[in-house]
Structure 1
Amino acid sequence: MTALQHQTAIITGAGKGIGKSTAIALAKEGVHLGLIARSEADLAALKDELSSHNVNVYYATADVSDKGQVDQAVAGLIGQLGRVDILINNAGIASFGKLVDMEPEQWERIINVNLMGTYYVTRAALPTMLEQNSGAIINVASTAGLSGFATGSAYCASKFAVMGLTEALMQEVRKSNIRVTALTPSTVNTELAVNAGLPIGNEDRMMQPEDVAELILAALKLPARVFVKMAGIWTTNPQ
């Protein structure tokens, strides 16, 4: 029996990349899963992949920037799971360009997915955790939430905001035995990074989604008395 066995988790952005790797890692630990992503095909394929792990897997399609879709998805998954012990806010998008060149709609889309999505999903799941008087929330932020860079105004703003949300919420709910942690990975070898045009370089030296999943597991396995506000994870220079 593992330390996490029979717990339940909701993961956003679960169809690919870090979210998918985290779902696989948690299933191996015996955690029952509620998966959220926009692609039903990706979710169905992942559920099939997890079928050998003897855990319950449910999924719901939702765009995390849409509060109505989020509320429906989270309520449905909690109803199927019975409770929610772990929430992984992983869904995110990235796009880069000079501030004067980015259209307001593009800027707002990044904020709406990365920040408002984290808020909507957390707000939907948190009442159940408060009622349980227990839980763990992990927000996948970025080193871009610690240090800004040219062409990253929208993405950095969204991730800086997630860091602030994490710290404030941690102070709100820690007395309810709910841990809130932000992970700040540097560039991870995912489809998101490739599509956003980030420099990948030597893939053998790049951080992989499975590496971030391992850090998530480590954070979840800490004794209940330990609260970690932020965990950074850097890759070796990919250039």
Structure 2
Amino acid sequence: MYERMAAAHIVPELLYTIWLVIYYILEAVVLSLIPNRMKARKDISDEVVLITGGGHGIGRSLAVRFARLRCRVIILDNNQEWLDEAQRIIASEGADVYAYLCDVSNRQNVYECARLIQNDVGEVSILVNNAGIVCSKYFMDLPDESITDVFRTNTFAHFWTLKAFLPSMMDRNHGHIITIASVVGKGAGCAASGYISSKFAAVGLHEALEMELRMLRRTGIHMTLVCPGLVSTGLFEGAEYKFPRLVPVLDADKLAEDVVDTVLRNGHLVITPFMAELGVRVKSLLPVKACNAVMDFAGATTMLNTFRGRQTTTTAIS
């Protein structure tokens, strides 16, 4: 009898879920047919935006674009020269900009910096977890300390900044979290297992937190996951695609423009360039051996053979 009663509840719920799935698929199809320039955008003027790794590369490009939207911009970086230059560039846009020297891989450093920010500026409403480092070596050649360094910056730092700034967003049910991950966080490559696994972890944290906030009914906090391919910031200097015309290296300014536009539309995901997005989609459909053949042909296993990386220790993002 209990089983019949349980089935009586499950069937209507299943039918309702099927209806929702069909509805949201149709909604997604319709929205995909509407040009982005015609979609509504939210006003983020006077919002407080914090960007880790904001002194260079994607972080600085994002800061400039948020500044042009009249946001108050906070940048964190572990390189004072980059901070000073970025602060000057962002201030030239007429925005209020605050720069803090901070090693986001250090939990206490993040929490101390957060207290300063709350006293100096106020509550952060848009958090961009962008800082990252890379170590490209085959697994057995990867030093233990490099593994922990990469995870501290690329993954653990996200936990510390979220712990510091998410509570006020939850209290107000208002905010936006942007995770700058990598396309390899959606589909692995070769010769950078530490970096790749740290990006998988960052993607996992982002998706788990998004589900958690939805279940807690904090729907006023939006989340955007960004998974770019190679970006011309110098972090992956020397790495190259097998077919560069088909899969171009991304320009940091153009990527930042796309990310901010997605944020303004409360979009959930940015995967770019197109062929990288296609590869991620195809991976989930093909058998493993077929996927391996495609990856080998595309050069995913050899693109880091010429990797040199940036010649100084930095906190920037691919």
Q: Same fold (TM over 0.5)?
A: yes
Q: 2:239 aligns with which of 198, 204, 222?
A: 198
1:227/1:168 CA distance change after superposition, 3 Å: farther
- CA displacement, residues 152-180 of structure 1 (integer Å, 9 cap, x when unaligned): 21111100001110011001223221112
1:78/1:213 CA distance change after superposition, 3 Å: farther
Deviation at 1:51, TM superposition (A): 2.1
Q: Is the 8 A contact 2:229 2:249 kept in 1?
A: no
In 1, the alpha carbon distance for the partners of 2:91 and 2:182 equals 31
Partner of 1:128: 168
Q: 1:187 aligns with which of 220, 230, 237?
A: 230
Q: Is the 8 A contact 1:145 1:157 kept in 2?
A: yes
After TM superposition, the score normalised by the length of structure 1 is: 0.90
Cα RMSD (Å) of the superposition?
2.3
Q: Is the 8 A contact 1:43 1:59 kept in 2?
A: yes
Q: Is the 8 A contact 2:183 2:228 kept in 1?
A: yes
Deviation at 1:28, TM superposition (A): 0.8
Runs of at least 5 residues in structure 1 that lack an aligned partner in the other structure: none
Deviation at 1:227, TM superposition (A): 5.8
Runs of at least 5 residues in structure 2 that lack an aligned partner in the other structure: 1-41, 277-298, 304-318
User: Identity rate of aligned residues, in percent?
Assistant: 27
1:41/1:164 CA distance change after superposition, 3 Å: same
Q: 1:157 aligns with which of 177, 181, 197?
A: 197
Count of aligned pairs between the two proteins: 232
- SS of the residue corresponding to residue 192 of structure 1 reads coil
Q: Is the 8 A contact 1:206 1:235 kept in 2?
A: no
> What letter is aligned with 1:60?
Y
- SS of the residue corresponding to residue 121 of structure 1 reads helix
- If you compute each CA radius of gyration, which structure gives the higher value, 1 or 2? 2
> What letter is aligned with 1:233?
T
After TM superposition, the score normalised by the length of structure 2 is: 0.68
- CA displacement, residues 122-165 of structure 1 (integer Å, 9 cap, x when unaligned): 11111111122110000000011011122121111100001110
Partner of 2:283: none
Q: Does 1:87 align with 2:127?
A: yes
After TM superposition, the structure 1 stretch with the greater mean CA deviation from structure 2, 161-170 or 42-51, is: 42-51
- SS of the residue corresponding to residue 53 of structure 1 reads coil
- SS of the residue corresponding to residue 171 of structure 1 reads helix
In 2, the alpha carbon distance for the partners of 1:236 and 1:208 equals 16
Q: Does 1:7 align with 2:47?
A: yes
